[in-house]
Amino acid sequence: MISPILASLALASALISQDLLIRDAIIVSPNVAISEMPLDVRVENGRITAIGEDLVALASETELNAAGLYLTPGLIDSHVHLGGNGGLRGDMVEENIALVRAYRRQEPRSYLYWGFTTLLDLTRSRPFVDHWNGLELSSQLHACRAAPYANGYGMMFEPEEYRYEAPYYIHDPDVAQSIPAEHDPAEHTPEAVVGRIADDGDAICIKTFHEPGFGGLFDFNTAPTEVLDRVAREAETRGLFNLLHATSLLSWHTAVEARAHVMAHGLWHWDQLNGAQVNPETELPAQIEDLLDATIENGITVQLTTGAIHGEVALYDVDFLTSDALAATLPRELITWHSGPQGGWFRDNLERIADDNPVVVENFLGHAPTGEPGETSRAALRRVIAVGRYLHANGAELVLASDTPSSPTYTNAPGLHGYQEMLTMEQMDMIPSEVLAAATINNARLLGLEDEIGSVEVGKQADLLLLSEDPRNEISDMGSIRWVILDGRPVQREYLSAGN
Ligand SMILES: [Zn+2]
């Protein structure tokens, strides 16, 4: 299938920049007419320069025989948090530092293993992003900056002594007495904060938050609509976009009124509607349908991040830890640790929180708990799938956004979590080509990179995947990657596996 020379090149370093001629691939891509005819794709200096039948190989080119394979754009995940601890709790890191190191070494490879060639991290600093982008093998990383509201979610878990060292928090006069005097409120208006982020020059977006406290578990300070609106307007003026963290009815309402550009998270806290009658057709209460209509009318792009919930449900899947998919994604010693006595800490933690907060649980479910394991997570997943189905059916702009890791646990594994997000989109009645668009061209548009990536077209960067199965049949076929082509450099998928 491939020339031995190319295979050894790919396995040896995978990095030699080379002009490439991909032979006889069937192209499956947004913006490209469906065709069963195999075509050749020429890549020069990391760009696609020609697509056609029987292109004549140039002396400088390496040929990659892709007969029988399907060529798609590389995938884009617009909501990740890189450089985590591999599912270890903060206080467990020190005594298991080798595991955390192994995780961080594998993390960039796992995103590529699952086909993600471009990522957007919502909070990482410029040094981290530069480091990541300088690795031999890593997805192209773009960054957002977080602008939390004073004493709100996003800064409340930081110790009070350091909390206000965060350079981009937004001032709230109502909590001024808790803010040390050296921090000038004039430096923390929405305009000042957005201005500093824009002047820093490396972020493409700003994350704000509206989080009252996860359905009653906490009581966080939340920004008024007017403040969030000012952030979004100033971001627009400065050429950035604004993602607003929102998971509840109240927060989604606020985000719609504040005219945020991106809704970060699905709507799974239905507040006073948790127990409401639903429309049997849509499984949604009428008021939620109205809110989703307003979201669509305002042109808000939606990141459903169902993985945040699915990752909790998967904690009850006994086969997940022993799956081939996980073995390819996390270092073996880390999986062994998660299979051991300490590995269940996160699930235990969730269950303890539920046990300690019966009123919150009952409010969330809208009825008394039945005792089913992970019942709140399962209810949340049903809600977010119903929300996604409605949004999709009514023309919302949905983008693939996995929020990896949304929780510090092994079920939020890099790349695999994004793949799972695509499978969940299929449950929202999205056909495979729509899921592929959400994971490629829609995200490219969001990132302002639609002329660079997101489809297999002449002029675009050669971030591409070769699959053995046709992903137009079932989106799970996106798991049949054979080659990842990164900026024109082909890498065999197996080379990226954690099991390698
Ligand atoms: Zn997130």
Q: Where are the domains of the chain?
A: 4-74+456-496, 75-446
Q: What percent of the chain has pLDDT over 70?
A: 97
Statement: residue 1 has pLDDT above 50 = no
Report how far ligand 1's centroid is from the alpha carbon of 40 (Å): 39
Which tens digits make up the pLDDT trace of 345-364? Answer: 999 999 999 999 999 999 99
List, for residues 122-159, the tens digit of each pLDDT value: 999 999 999 999 999 999 999 999 999 999 998 888 88
Is residue 6 scored above 70 in pLDDT? no
Instruction: Output the CA 59–ligand 1 centroid distance in Å.
Output: 47
Ligand 1 centroid–CA 79 distance in Å is 6
CA of 81 to the centre of ligand 1 (A): 6
* Range 81-110 average pLDDT: 97
CA of 123 to the centre of ligand 1 (A): 9
pLDDT for the residue 4: 42
Number of other residues whose CB lies within 10 A of the CB of residue 273: 17
Mean pLDDT of 382-407: 97
Distance 167 CA to ligand 1 centre (A): 19
pLDDT band at residue 14 using 50, 70 and 90 as cut-offs: very low
Q: What is the pLDDT of residue 5?
A: 45
Q: Do the domains at 4-74+456-496 and 75-446 have one common CATH topology?
A: no
Return the structure tokens found at 316. Answer: 């009850």
Ligand 1 centroid to 376 CA: how many Å? 20
131 alpha carbon – ligand 1 mean position (Å): 21
Cα of 305 vs centre of ligand 1, distance in Å, is 8
For residue 467, the cross-strand partners are 70, 481
Q: What is the mean pLDDT of residues 12-30?
A: 80
* Average pLDDT value for residue range 249-273: 97
CA 146 to ligand 1 centroid distance, Å: 10
CA of 211 to the centre of ligand 1 (A): 13
302 Cα: distance to centroid of ligand 1 (angstroms): 13
Span from the CA of 122 to the centroid of ligand 1 (angstroms): 7
**pLDDT, mean over the chain:** 94
% of the chain residues with pLDDT over 90: 91
Query: Distance, CA 37 to ligand 1 centroid (Å)?
Result: 41
pLDDT > 60? residue 44: yes
How confident is the model at residue 158, as a pLDDT? 86
pLDDT digits (tens, 9 = 90+) for 442-498: 999 999 999 999 999 999 999 999 999 999 999 999 999 999 999 999 999 999 999
Per-residue pLDDT, averaged over 255-277, amounts to 97
Report how far ligand 1's centroid is from the alpha carbon of 315 (Å): 19
Question: pLDDT-based confidence at 17, cuts 50/70/90?
Answer: low
Q: Separation of 14 CA from ligand 1 center, angstroms?
A: 31
What pLDDT, on the 0 to 100 scale, is given for residue 16? 57
Cα(411) to centroid(ligand 1), Å: 15
**pLDDT higher than 50, residue 7:** no
pLDDT at 9 over 50: no
What's the pLDDT score for residue 121?
98
Q: How far is the CA of 67 from the centre of ligand 1 (A)?
A: 39
Average of per-residue pLDDT across 40-46: 96
pLDDT higher than threshold 80 for residue 213: yes
Q: Rounded to the nearest whole angstrom, what is the distance from the C-alpha of residue 249 to the centroid of ligand 1? A: 18
CA of 408 to the centre of ligand 1 (A): 11
Ligand 1 centroid – CA 375 distance (Å): 22
| Domain 4-74+456-496 class in CATH | mainly beta
Contacts of 401 (CB under 8 A, 6+ apart): 77, 78, 79, 264, 303, 304, 305, 421, 443
Out of 2.30.40.10, 3.40.50.2020, 3.40.50.1980, 3.20.20.140, select the CATH number for domain 75-446.
Answer: 3.20.20.140
Ligand 1: centre distance to CA 407 (Å)? 9
Mean predicted confidence (pLDDT) in 81-93: 95
Report how far ligand 1's centroid is from the alpha carbon of 20 (Å).
Answer: 37
Residue 224 has pLDDT above 60, yes or no: yes
What's the confidence (pLDDT) of residue 36?
86
Summarize pLDDT for 362-390 with one digit per residue, the tens. Answer: 999 999 999 999 999 999 999 999 999 99
pLDDT digits (tens, 9 = 90+) for 409-447: 999 999 999 999 999 999 999 999 999 999 999 999 999
